[in-house]
Each structure stands twice: as C-alpha cells, then as structure tokens.
Structure 1
C-alpha cells in the first residue's frame, strides 16, 4: 500500500440554495472527511490508498463506505459500530466565499475508534502514513490511536505526513497546540497553512514556520499560502511555488486535502520539492472549481491537461 490514512468521514449535506440554513428546504448528499478526501484524491491520481475508521452500522455508514470504496480506496479495515451513529455535517453558503459548516458528530462511531481497532501489519504495509489534526480532537481514544500509529510508523521507517487541520469547533487552540506539536515532532512531512503556523508557532511568516518545523525534526515542510501557492523547504533547499488562478471558485472546502494528495503524489514519484508543490497547488486549485468536498479532485489525465502536459480532445 502506498498511502494509508484514517479518521472520521461524515455524510455532508450541501444546501441547494445560498442562504442561511433556516431558509434552505433541500440538500444534496455527499461524503466529506479530510483523511478520506486525501485517500480518494490519491486513488484518482493512480496511487494505492487505504483508509480506515469506525462508521455507524446504519444506512449513512454504508453510504460512506460505498462512496470511498467506489473511488478505488481500500476500506477493508473499516469497522462498523452498532452502538454509535455516523457523523453528519451541514454546509451553509450565504455570505462570502467560504461556507460555514455545522457538525453533528459528538459521540459518533468514529470518535469511538480505539487501539484495539488497529491492524498493525496493515499499517506496516504503507510507504506513507497520512495523519490529520482532526482525528486527535475527536476523543481521548482517537488521540491514543494517532500516537500508536505514529509509534508503529516511526519504529518501522514509514514516512509520516501530517496536516494540522486545526478545527477550533472541536477543541481549543490551547488543547490543540501541545498535541499537534507532539505529532509534528514525530512527522517527516508537514503541510500547514500559514494561519495554522501562526496558531502553533506564533508567526505567520512562511519561512519562519518552515524553519521552526525543520528544527522540530520534520524533513520537509510545505506551507500552504492559498491562492498564492506554497512555500516548500527541506534541509537542502527552499522554494516558492506559484498557485493557479481560479477566477470563480465554487467551493473551497477540500482544497487543502487536494494539496496534500498532489504533494504526496509527487513524493511517491520522487519528484523535486518544487514539482511536488506544483502538483499540490494544481489539485488544490481544481478542487475549488467544483461544488463538494472531494468531487473536484482530478484523475491523473485531467491533472495533466490542467497542467498543459496533455491535449484536451473536446469532441
């Protein structure tokens, strides 16, 4: 397995109209979750990807499993819980470019994940383990799972990729900071946004963020700069990689996960850090062009077309 990730995936309800939710009468149903988003995007790019979690033993849980599996992601280690339900998320698009999100995930099946759910041999099969900062925020047992997986990865020489994904609706920055910095210190690749860097390290300067994470022990740092692109650094070099202009972004949720998948795809292909950043920027940009958390993630041919490396045949 090239990449394995884990964490909560929810059923997402997208409003059919742009207004406060109290005025919305109809929704479309989809699946969302930072961890599974990365796995789905990698699978579309042609990589072997696995995702595991707990889902409610309910219709929503089966729906989540089917959607993620349908993109080619291995879900063989997913557990179904008949005592807890699948989490839900509602989006609200009214003012501004970024949607508001409302979680209904407290006590969800995913929050009940525990060390006993882990298949250690499965984890050892990965080249890269991708972790997000959402999972340790779900519960104490979920946090224990994160550190157990980190321990397995570190002991077996498996590359660890970490996206802080700070969610202040799940925990306070005071609680998040110490946990996320501990995870960062055990990670090889870290993919923070510059706002996350400021929350964790006290600076919004991308070069300072990268320097501090490298000093913490990370080998590669890619600081996401939104529409501007990213700044990538390791112990040998650093580079700014320009973003791709999107005239009318439709939905920004999932763009960071798309960046992570594109960047990790470059790592798996042993590309330069600049090219890894370019792939990350491209997948992240394409994610914003389509409504939904993961619907805009491209297949590899589509990515090549976006990058101008393959001609488009319209008809």
Structure 2
C-alpha cells in the first residue's frame, strides 16, 4: 500500500565542475524538490509514489529510471510526446557558492494536469505532499496542486505543504495570493520564518503560526537551520536541536528535512522524535554533495552517532 504521494516537477540536472562558459565537464543527474522527498522516504523503507510529467526523451527516461531504481513508484508519471524534459545547470563558484540556471519554459514538468494527480491518489495514501514550487510554474500546475489537495482530503489523507518559496519564480505578493486559498486544505505547513512571512502577515513567528491555525492548518513546522527546528500545535510547541556536521553542499537539505519529518509521522513517533529524524536527514544532505544522492538508508542513520574518523564495519 502506498504511504505517500508527492507531486512536482523533476528536471535533468547538469552539475558543472567549473564554469559552464569555460566548457567544463558536467555530471548528469535529476533534481526536483518533491522527488528529493520521495527518495528520502524510499531509502528509509517507505512506499512512495511520485507524480509528474516528463518528456518522451532520454532525459525523461533518466528521471523515471533513477526514481524507479530508488524503489519509487513511477507508474503514474505521464510522458508528454510534445514537450521536453526540463533542465537545470549548476556551477560551483568561489567559497562553495552554487549558481543554478533553469530551462523549464514549455517543459513537460510544467504541463502536469489535475487528472494526473487525482488518478494517482486512487491508491489512498496516508499523506499527500506538495510544495510551493509547483503552483509557481503556472496556472495549470496550480490547478493540479489544488485538485490534489482536495482529492487527498476527500480520501482521508493528511496534506503536507512545504512553502519552498522561490523568488526567481514569482513575487511574494503573487505567491501570497496564489497560495493563500490552498491553506484551507492543508494540514501541515513546513517552512522557515521568511517563508511563513510570505504566506501570512505577522510581526513574528508566533503571530504567523496563529494566523495559519485560524485558516485551518493543524500543525506548523519551522525549519531553523543550524538552530534545529520547532513544531507548533495549537496549544504547545516542541523544539529539536540540529546535528553538527561539516557542511559540504546545502542544496536539498530542506527536502531531506521534510522526508525525515514525514517518515517520523508515518511511524507515529513523538513530535520531538519526528523533528529529530527530520534534522538527521537534513544533516546527511548538507554533509554530502548533490540534492539527494547522500540521503541515508535506515541502517545508515546510526552513522550520526559516530565520532569523526570512526570506521563502521
């Protein structure tokens, strides 16, 4: 039985060893927020389905093959014969800073439909997860997210939403107007303080959280980076400290956090332990290169308890 359905765009990712304009070599992989979450969950042994649209091309086949190899159900991924799979190109610059260019206009990933996601939810998952990136890709994608949330609610699933605000995709005002109407069908909102401020007005986190509760949200999880994370319920809050690890690549850390949190929720861990697992996966993500490549299996979670230089045999 499928436990989680995630909906979103996955692109082919070209990661250059140096500057693209200098014709450096690039490694090819795949990347997408909701797909990253799916990988994190699948590696922990959860049954997860990713829903999206890819082109009928080599890069689309790469996306489907990669996720299938991670034991993710791709049976509901639609292949569009008329649109290409989107591409992102990243470069590592000075000080470890990465820059990313996106080539997604007219791509298959922006053409996901309401029926794509509604059909995928026929499996009656426990959780339906989406992020704010998908609605930012256009009205068609926004309608698919809306339909998915409503259908998931109708089928009794918990709806989780990672704000995942991207300033390059839309303004804060545009995001607020588009995402606000969705909040009445969301159970759990996840984001950092700045992202909550995009969703709702308020002078501080507590006032923003109260505003989200007034809109019908039942839980708010605030990612706080090196300070850990805090989860808010209507009558209490819980905090968990972050794990201290050397930071190699921060990309994908937020998605890893979400995967850990959802895993803990599925296993009915205490709210504090859900945050602990979320922070654990975030630590694995930042300590290895790539969006999702370094995410742990369940057996590997124990590696965080080791000391630097330890050898696990």
Question: The TM-score by the shorter chain falls in which range?
Answer: over 0.9
Map Cα deviations across residues 196-233 of structure 1 (whole Å, 9 max, x no partner): 11222345733333332222211111100111111111
Indicate the residue corresponding to 2:232 in structure 1.
233
Q: How does 1:1-315 map to 2 (within 5 A)?
A: 1-17=2-18, 20-23=19-22, 25-120=24-119, 122-203=121-202, 205-247=204-246, 249-307=247-305, 314-315=312-313
| Unaligned stretches of 5+ residues in structure 2 | none
* Separation of aligned partners in 1, 2:240 and 2:121: 35
* Separation of aligned partners in 2, 1:286 and 1:96: 20
Answer whether contact 2:17 2:92 (CA < 8 A) is retained.
no
Map Cα deviations across residues 58-92 of structure 1 (whole Å, 9 max, x no partner): 00000011001111100000111110000000112
Answer whether contact 1:55 1:81 (CA < 8 A) is retained.
yes
Answer whether contact 1:44 1:300 (CA < 8 A) is retained.
yes
Segment drifting more, 116-125 vs 76-85:
116-125
- The verdict on how the C-alpha distance between 1:130 and 1:204 changes in structure 2, with shifts beyond 3 A counting, is farther
Segment drifting more, 54-63 vs 135-144:
135-144
State the 1:57 CA deviation: 0.2
Map Cα deviations across residues 9-47 of structure 1 (whole Å, 9 max, x no partner): 001111213xx4423511111110001110110000110
* Separation of aligned partners in 1, 2:296 and 2:123: 28
State the 1:277 CA deviation: 0.8
How many residues were matched structurally? 309
Answer whether contact 1:194 1:204 (CA < 8 A) is retained.
no
Answer whether contact 2:118 2:147 (CA < 8 A) is retained.
no
* Separation of aligned partners in 2, 1:50 and 1:234: 28
TM-score by length of 2: 0.93
* Separation of aligned partners in 2, 1:253 and 1:11: 15
Please give the root-mean-square deviation of Cα atoms over the aligned residues, in Å: 1.8
